[in-house]
Amino acid sequence: MSMELKEQSRSGEDVFIERFEDLIGPNTNGSESEWTLNRRNAIQVFAQNGFPNKKSESYKYTPVTKWLQSQLKNGMHTAAGSSVQSGNLKNEALPTPLLDESEVRGEPSSLENMKGLHVHATNGLIRGSLSEALPTGLIICSFKQALVDHPKLLSEYLTKAVVLERDPFAALASAFAEDGILIFVPAGLEVEKAIVIHHDALFSNSLIQARLLVVAEEGTKVNVIEHFPFLDAGSSFENRVAEVFAGKGARVDHVLVMERNDQTLFVNSLFVHQDANSFFRTNTVTLGGGLVRHNLNFLPDAEECETHLHGLYVAKGTAHVDNHTLVDHAKPNCFSNEIFKGIVTNQAVGVFNGKVLVRQDAQKTNAYQSSKCIVLDRGARTYAKPELEIYADDVKCSHGATTGELDEDALFYLRARGIHPDAAKLMLLEAFAKDIIGLIDFDEVRNYLYQRLHGLLTVTK
Amino acid sequence: MHVSIEEDGTEILKGLNLKVGSGEVHAIMGPNGSGKSTLASVLAGKDGYEVTNGTVAFCGDDLLELAADERAREGLFLAFQYPIELPGVSMSNFLKQAVQSVREHQGKEALTSGALLQMMKEKAALVHLDPALKSRSVNEGFSGGEKKRNEIFQLAMLEPKFAILDETDSGLDIDALRIVADGVNHLRSPERSFLLITHYQRLLDYIVPDFVHVLMNGRIVMTGGKELALELEEKGYDWIKDETTQLA
């Protein structure tokens, strides 16, 4: 128990900063790679800002630091898969793990069988080889591989969309991630099959800082589906940062399905940069996790961009799910539409914070936002904070947030037809969720989600 | 039966007695605010009302002891005055769930999907509903007339013992009224009784009732045959008001 006392005397930030120094070593002045300098910069930004505290407005409803500290006290593995394998880890920099270092894999999901280019990842890193040959020019590889084969790509794009100052977790992941997954779609290529990333293995009780970089050049088309399935991997902290560049006229479609266990602290920071006439859409579906925070940041940085943010969450037990979005309209004639829906029950908490910023130059912006949440239990809570900040004078913007119980009249109508109350509730909840899931293009993904939802909501009171 | 609004205790039904025999069609008419829709809601089991006194016997059961869905499975049906839109709930799923729940309860075997589909097709034709509606959301985007016809379609699917039609005629044009009435007439049988709640005599030209009751101020103040409806159409309700006050 001396360990715990020791931990209490150090702040969470110090633990990470010391750990980073152990990992990277002292600055070798000039001889370091651009990426390493990049990482040093990120840890500096993190050191300056620290973890969110009680006064941090953007984490007001989401006590992520408290969670993290209690997890640190309990111990967790400190690095991504590559470091777990290397023998020179200084584990004393963080408390020793409680469990062994065995890899935990989930049951294969039906998404494995969908038509697509499948990528499997352990602790955020590509495992094994890809399922099939890639179309000419398409690159899917680890950052380390890219450093050798395509060094210019990384230096041109990595951390260029991430705003380190905006969120300490994005800075932390940018500093710590020792590798990542790169998807590069060269100009003009339309990738017919979806790229399906299965984040399907973790080391138990681990701390994972992972990265994803998607570069879709001019005139490309690509679908990226990410699945974080349920894993019985103890209490893990997954902090990942993803960057997406949608080039001129590119169409990038993203789906994220998060189903980790209830001891998982999951922070997902997505930064999207859009060039002229590009289309980006994400559908962020959260069906699991203990504390989940999605930081979704969009910068339509040229004219005629189209941005769609769709999200669905189901929070049960003591889960806490927070969707925090920012659409930064910097240029004129862009369109954004944001729709989030949530179902919270038991003692769970749902948080939605959607900010739309329309800068002075961004005339003729059309920006819409809606957040709807159904609260099934007296113990469950929800917070919604839509924010519109508009500096241009010729724009169309709207927002709406509703929270309520299931519609009594609708329930009565179903029951008046002989349908049992539980079945009636389930029908209405599924119908509610369908609005979001129905927006996903892939039958296999939709059907998988309907089936998962059915299971989740059936046992929900 | 005495019924109050739960929230504020206002008494709506003030001693209502009614007996509907098997296979009979009863019409209840009455001015606005007389308690007609409250009667329908209370019989169907809608929350928000308190039955302060009285019982409702339904085929040997105490209806008031049953939850709304149990009543429906026992064979009670309410055609809503304002059918609810259920975005995202398809007609086919809705009907499947409803029909199978009711059949299961009544000890009938579950229908195969094929048989259910066939049944939907036949019953939809009764009220001239497009069979393509099965893939649409329940009542969403339906016209006023379609919504009412959809109620009768559901009635036909669920084959209840006792059906309450709550102002099913309101908002219908002549043609739609005729279609709805034809559907109902087709569904009349010695095992099925109807309670028609209506403002207008017109509906009763098409669905000829065995009895007409006048509901005023929470009580049935007059009962007669189908000719009573014609008399009401001609003279309004005031003469009844006068007569009943004289009696009281």
- Summarised one tens digit per residue, pLDDT across range A5-35 is 344 445 678 888 888 888 888 777 767 888 8
- Name the residue of chain A whose CA is nearest to B48's CA: A408
pLDDT value at residue A235? 85
Q: What pairing do the DSSP bridges indicate for beta strands A125-127 and A116-122?
A: antiparallel
Q: What pairing do the DSSP bridges indicate for beta strands A366-375 and A396-404?
A: parallel
Contact B126, B154 (CB under 8 A): no
Residues of B in contact with A427 (CB under 8 A): 86, 89, 93-94, 97
Give the one of A419, A428, A435 whose C-beta lies nearest to B101's C-beta: A419
Give the one of B69, B77, B88 whose C-beta lies nearest to A434's C-beta: B88
A446 inside 8 A of chain B by CB:
no
pLDDT value at residue B218? 86
d(CA B62, CA B45): 12
Strands (E), A287-319: 291-300, 306-315
A415 inside 8 A of chain B by CB:
yes
The minimum CA-CA distance between B133 and chain A, rounded to whole Å, is 17
Instruction: Say whether B97 and A427 touch across the interface (CB within 8 A).
Output: yes
d(CA A86, CA A36): 19
Residues of A in contact with B137 (CB under 8 A): 431
Nearest in space to B212 (alpha carbons), one of B231, B229, B192, B191:
B229
Mean pLDDT of chain B: 90
Q: What is the DSSP letter of A163?
A: -
The minimum CA-CA distance between A422 and chain B, rounded to whole Å, is 11
| Interface of chain B toward chain A, CB-CB under 8 angstroms | 44-47, 67-69, 72-73, 77-78, 80, 83-84, 86-89, 93-94, 97-98, 101-102, 105, 137, 154, 158
Which stretches within chain B are classed as H helix?
Answer: 36-44, 68-74, 91-105, 113-126, 144-158, 174-187, 202-206, 226-235, 238-247
pLDDT value at residue A296? 97
| Mutation site, B95, B97, B162, interface A, largest A CB count within 10 A | B97
Give the one of B68, B94, B137 whose C-beta lies nearest to A415's C-beta: B68
pLDDT value at residue A13? 84
* pLDDT tens-digit map of A69-115: 777 766 555 443 333 332 233 333 343 343 446 788 888 888 999 99
Nearest in space to A334 (alpha carbons), one of A277, A249, A252, A400:
A277
* pLDDT range class, residue B248, cuts 50, 70, 90: low
Contact A269, A169 (CB under 8 A): yes
- Name the residue of chain B whose CA is nearest to A434's CA: B88
Give the one of A418, A423, A428 whose C-beta lies nearest to B158's C-beta: A418
Backbone phi and psi for residue A428, each to the nearest 5 degrees, phi listed first: -70, -40
DSSP A387-446: EEEE--SS-EEEEEEEEE---HHHHHHHHTTT--HHHHHHHHHHHHHHHHHTT-S-HHHH
Residues of A in contact with B73 (CB under 8 A): 418
A419 inside 8 A of chain B by CB:
yes
pLDDT value at residue A8? 45
Instruction: Say whether B101 and A427 touch across the interface (CB within 8 A).
Output: no
* pLDDT tens-digit map of B123-137: 999 999 998 888 899
pLDDT value at residue A76? 56
* pLDDT range class, residue B116, cuts 50, 70, 90: very high
pLDDT value at residue B140? 95
Contact A96, A74 (CB under 8 A): no
Could you tell me the two tokens for A206? 């681990």
Instruction: Say whether B68 and A435 touch across the interface (CB within 8 A).
Output: no
d(CA B196, CA A404): 35
- Name the residue of chain B whose CA is nearest to A410's CA: B84
Q: What is the DSSP letter of A96?
A: P
The minimum CA-CA distance between B213 and chain A, rounded to whole Å, is 25
Give the one of A415, A417, A420 whose C-beta lies nearest to B158's C-beta: A417
Instruction: Say whether A416 and B94 touch across the interface (CB within 8 A).
Output: no
* pLDDT tens-digit map of A178-220: 899 999 999 999 999 999 999 998 888 888 889 999 999 999 9
Could you tell me the two tokens for A456? 């989740």
CB contact set of B194 (below 8 Å; sequence gap of 6+): B24, B25, B26, B162, B163, B164, B165, B184, B188, B207
Choice between B144 and B1, residue whose per-residue pLDDT is larger: B144
* pLDDT tens-digit map of A262-272: 999 999 999 99
Give the one of B46, B101, B105 whose C-beta lies nearest to A412's C-beta: B46
- CA A380 to chain centroid, in Å, comes to 23
- Name the residue of chain A whose CA is nearest to B83's CA: A413
Residues of A in contact with B84 (CB under 8 A): 409-410, 412-413
CB contact set of B121 (below 8 Å; sequence gap of 6+): B131
Instruction: Say whether B69 and A418 touch across the interface (CB within 8 A).
Output: yes
* pLDDT tens-digit map of B43-53: 999 998 888 88
- Name the residue of chain B whose CA is nearest to A436's CA: B88
Residues of chain A with pLDDT under 50: 1-9, 78-100, 461
Q: What's the pTM value of the predicted model, to 2 decimals?
A: 0.90
Name the amino acid, one letter, at B225.
Answer: G
Could you tell me the two tokens for A447? 């059907």
pLDDT of residue B118 exceeding 50, the answer is yes
The minimum CA-CA distance between B93 and chain A, rounded to whole Å, is 9
pLDDT value at residue B52? 86
| Mutation site, B41, B43, B69, interface A, largest A CB count within 10 A | B69
- Name the residue of chain B whose CA is nearest to A431's CA: B88
Instruction: Say whether A415 and B105 touch across the interface (CB within 8 A).
Output: no
| Mutation site, A405, A419, A450, A454, interface B, largest B CB count within 10 A | A419
Residues of A in contact with B102 (CB under 8 A): 417-418
Contact A382, A350 (CB under 8 A): yes
